[in-house]
Amino acid sequence: MKHLALIVILLMMTTQIEASAKGAYEIYQKDKSKSRDKKIAHELIDGSFYFSAIPYINNYLENNNEIDAELEADIETLVLKTGTMAVLNLEEKRLESFNNPSISLILGTRLFAKEQNTKAYEILSRIPDSHQFSAEAALIKGTIRNLERKNIEALNLYEACVNKSTAQENSSKGEKLKRYYNYLKETCIIRSARVNIEEKKYEQALLIYEKIDKRSYKWPYILLDQAWANYYLKDYNRTLGLTTTYKSPLLESYFFPEAEVLTALSYYNMCLWDDSLKVVDHFYDFYKPKAEALKEILGNNKNSNNYFLDLYYADSATRDNLNPFIRNLVTQTRKQVKFNLDLSSLKAAKDELALLKRLKNKNDFTQSLEVNLGSTIEFVSAKINYYIKKEIFTFINEIHKHSFSMFNLKLELLSKKRDDIYNAKALEENTRERGSDKNVKRKTSHYFFDFNGSFWADELGDYSFGLNSACPVSKTNE
Amino acid sequence: MNTKISLHTLVILTALFSSIVLAQDEKKNIVYKYKEYEVIDLGSLEIKGQIMAPGDLTVNERERQTFKRSLLEKQNYDFENKREIENLR
């Protein structure tokens, strides 16, 4: 019975698809009016040929200024189904003339990427508060105010983003949409915490971070933020505990060179020069060969339009043969929203092409749709390939940036060690108590576990070291 | 006449030879002696002129210059925030 229902649904869908393609072909042949492209696009969208509809929507918008209710709904569907591809061929100047929420979101995002923040803010403000894209618009607008150091406005916008995305999450029916709005909500919560860190309100920031669930996709990223807040609160043991969490096998695909620098800095502030030096030396041993290997891969394949995308599709054994580090980097990249959206766009475009090829009545119209779709698939593939390449490039730059920080720290450490020798200061490293519960600062919201040499998922993020500072005790009260 | 000259020459040559031998013997026996040391008493020397430099040399005490290297600080999250937006769409 179930199979029969499925077959009936499939038959109905196929009939509708065929009818839409036929309808579009008829308009293509007979209609000579100004709105021909709009009508063709509408027919194609009705038949789920979203990517095929893009050139017709773009052609219409290039030459016409009016957007009626039907076209507005079609544009929104296209944005949801194809992302920023919907109005890809239109220039910013042209897009600016439309007061349409979907177009405003795409244009605002484009302008933000080009650092035209004032214009981007203005365009994004056109999106009504009740619209489904308003949460995302509030996030970008908050980021703009944050960059301008207008923190009160930024906090208000982030709060609005949290409220709007919570409402959208509750009202959405699809699981994917719910996940997306949850992602937006958590991003905006984290942004509020970051503004507090920037304003040196570290305790307040740590309280906000506690709102993020440990199972959340965003959670591994906030460990580093929390570590910085604790560092500025001079709770170096807690900082060390948080950065050590990245050593857990569960988080092996997350690597932040900055976390290594923060670990070394925490030891440094506890006057544990040798511990700090060990972290510095480990940083160079660990990251240098990886940076060189990645640089070589980038250099050898800089002109390829598919090498990095193929890496994503390659099985883990193939990736390991090339460089074990690549596997983790690709894993981290595939967790990005943009990457997933582009990848599902690529899959949808390929499915659409297969659908076109299966159509019974072939003609010059369907032929041109196939050619256009082929170019779209090529473009999306190159776009994803470029994205992975850029991620690798950014990662190499991060390593280089933090190598410089580590170099400065090493010089400081050697200088401190030399001073100790000049001052004949006995460090007594071996006899010093390495750790004690007495040195752990606790709060009511903290859990307490003993670390027995293995990481447990429910303990992650709650670690604290119990090291005693080796710095001379100041006689004056701070 | 010839015999007279030859005799005269012989006498002169003999006298010359003997004086050279005598001179060589005298050279060998000369011993030169130098002073083993000499004391110069500077205190007794008087220098005429005007003293331009201060009587004693002093160095002002100051703290030793230490070069603070810039260690990593987290002033803002601009880089992370921008990347997050870029990774959205």
- How many separate domains does chain B show? 1
Is there a contact between B87 and A337 if contact means CB atoms under 8 Å apart?
Answer: yes
- CA distance, residue B71 to nearest chain A CA (Å): 6
* Contacts with A408 from chain B: Cβ below 8 Å: 69-71
Q: Determine the average pLDDT of the residues in A197-214.
A: 95
Chain A residues within 8 A (CB-CB) of chain B?
A: 83-84, 106, 109, 112-113, 136, 139-140, 143, 146-147, 187, 191, 194, 197-198, 225, 228, 232, 258, 261-262, 265, 268, 336-339, 341, 394, 402, 405, 408-409, 411-412
pTM: 0.76
The helix (run of H) or strand (run of E) holding residue A199 is none
Decide if pLDDT at A427 tops 70: no
Point out the residue among A109, A146, A408 whose CB comes nearest to the CB of B71.
A408
Tell me the residues of chain B between 57 and 86 that have a Cβ less than 8 Å away from chain A.
Answer: 69-72, 74-78, 80-86
Residue of A143, A158, A391, A404 best to disrupt the B interface, most CBs of B under 10 A: A143
C-alpha triplet A366, A369, A375: angle, nearest 5°: 150
Mean pLDDT (chain A) is 85
* Contacts with A146 from chain B: Cβ below 8 Å: 77-78, 81
Task: Assess if residue B28 is contained within a domain.
Answer: yes
Question: Which residues contact residue A345 at a Cβ distance below 8 angstroms, ignoring those fewer than 6 apart?
Answer: A51, A82, A83, A85, A380
User: Rounded distance, CA A442 to CA A223, Å?
Assistant: 17
- CA distance, residue B36 to nearest chain A CA (Å): 49
* Contacts with A136 from chain B: Cβ below 8 Å: 88
User: Rounded distance, CA A255 to CA A260, Å?
Assistant: 9
**Each residue's pLDDT tens digit, A145-186:** 999 999 999 999 999 999 999 999 999 888 888 998 999 999
Q: Tokens 């070291």 label which residue?
A: A465
Of A192 and A29, more confident? A192
- CA distance, residue B77 to nearest chain A CA (Å): 7
Task: Assess if residue B15 is contained within a domain.
Answer: yes
Is there a contact between A338 and B86 if contact means CB atoms under 8 Å apart?
Answer: yes
* Contacts with B74 from chain A: Cβ below 8 Å: 197, 228, 232
DSSP A192: H
Is there a contact between A338 and B76 if contact means CB atoms under 8 Å apart?
Answer: no
B11: domain range?
A: 1-33
| Residue A405 neighbours by CB distance under 10 Å | 23
Decide if pLDDT at A131 tops 70: yes
**Each residue's pLDDT tens digit, A381-417:** 999 999 888 888 888 899 999 999 999 999 989 888 8
**Each residue's pLDDT tens digit, A43-98:** 999 888 999 999 999 999 988 888 888 998 999 899 888 888 888 888 999 999 88
Task: Assess if residue B81 is contained within a domain.
Answer: no
DSSP secondary structure letters along A297-337:
HHHHTTT-SSHHHHHHHS-HHHHHHH-HHHHHHHHHHHTSH
User: Rounded distance, CA A361 to CA A202, Å?
Assistant: 66
Of A290 and B55, more confident? A290
DSSP secondary structure letters along A335-389:
TSHHHHHHHHHHHHHHHHHHHHHH-SS--HHHHHHHHHHHHHHHHHHHHHHHHHH
**Each residue's pLDDT tens digit, B39-87:** 877 777 777 777 676 666 666 666 666 666 788 999 999 999 999 998 8
Is there a contact between A147 and B81 if contact means CB atoms under 8 Å apart?
Answer: yes
Is there a contact between A198 and B71 if contact means CB atoms under 8 Å apart?
Answer: no
Is there a contact between B81 and A191 if contact means CB atoms under 8 Å apart?
Answer: yes
pLDDT value of position A444: 61
**Each residue's pLDDT tens digit, A342-362:** 888 899 999 999 988 888 777
User: Rounded distance, CA A54 to CA A373, Å?
Assistant: 10
- The residue type at A258: E
Is there a contact between A83 and B89 if contact means CB atoms under 8 Å apart?
Answer: yes
| Residue A34 neighbours by CB distance under 10 Å | 11
pLDDT value of position B69: 72
Nearest CA in chain A to B66: A415
Nearest CA in chain A to B89: A338
Task: Assess if residue B84 is contained within a domain.
Answer: no
Is there a contact between B85 and A140 if contact means CB atoms under 8 Å apart?
Answer: yes
State the helix-helix crossing angle for A324-334 and A364-422, rounded to 10 degrees. Answer: 120
* Contacts with B79 from chain A: Cβ below 8 Å: none
Please list, residue by residue across A247-277, b when 16 or more beta carbons sit within 10 angstroms of its beta carbon and e when fewer do: ebeebeebbbbbbbbbbbbbbbbbebbebbb
Q: Tokens 């256009």 label which residue?
A: A372
Decide if pLDDT at A6 tops 70: no
Task: Assess if residue B13 is contained within a domain.
Answer: yes
Decide if pLDDT at A114 tops 90: yes
**Each residue's pLDDT tens digit, A87-107:** 888 899 999 988 889 899 999
User: Rounded distance, CA A281 to CA A418, Å?
Assistant: 18
The ipTM estimated for the assembled molecules is: 0.82
| Residue A229 neighbours by CB distance under 10 Å | 27
Nearest CA in chain A to B82: A143
Assign A433 a pLDDT band (cuts: 50, 70, 90).
low
Q: Is A236:A270 a contact under the CB 8 Å cutoff?
A: yes
Q: Determine the average pLDDT of the residues in A429-434.
A: 52
Q: Which 3 state secondary structure label does DSSP give A158?
A: helix
Task: Assess if residue B55 is contained within a domain.
Answer: no
Which pairs count as long-range contacts for A241-244, CB under 8 Å and 24+ apart, including other chains? Answer: A241/A462, A241/A463, A241/A464, A241/A465, A242/A461, A242/A463, A244/A463, A244/A465
- What is the percentage of chain A residues whose pLDDT exceeds 70? 85
Which three-class secondary structure string do you get for chain B? CHHHHHHHHHHHHHHHHHHHHHHHHHHHCCCCCCCCCCCCCHHHCCCCCCCCCCCCCCCCCCCCCCCCCCCCCCCCCHHHHHHHHHCCC
Point out the residue among B69, B81, B84 whose CB comes nearest to the CB of A411.
B69
Of residues A128, A150, A146, the one with CA closest to residue A137: A128
Q: Is A109:A337 a contact under the CB 8 Å cutoff?
A: no
Question: Which residues contact residue A153 at a Cβ distance below 8 angstroms, ignoring those fewer than 6 apart?
Answer: A142, A145
Task: Assess if residue B86 is contained within a domain.
Answer: no
Task: Assess if residue B88 is contained within a domain.
Answer: no
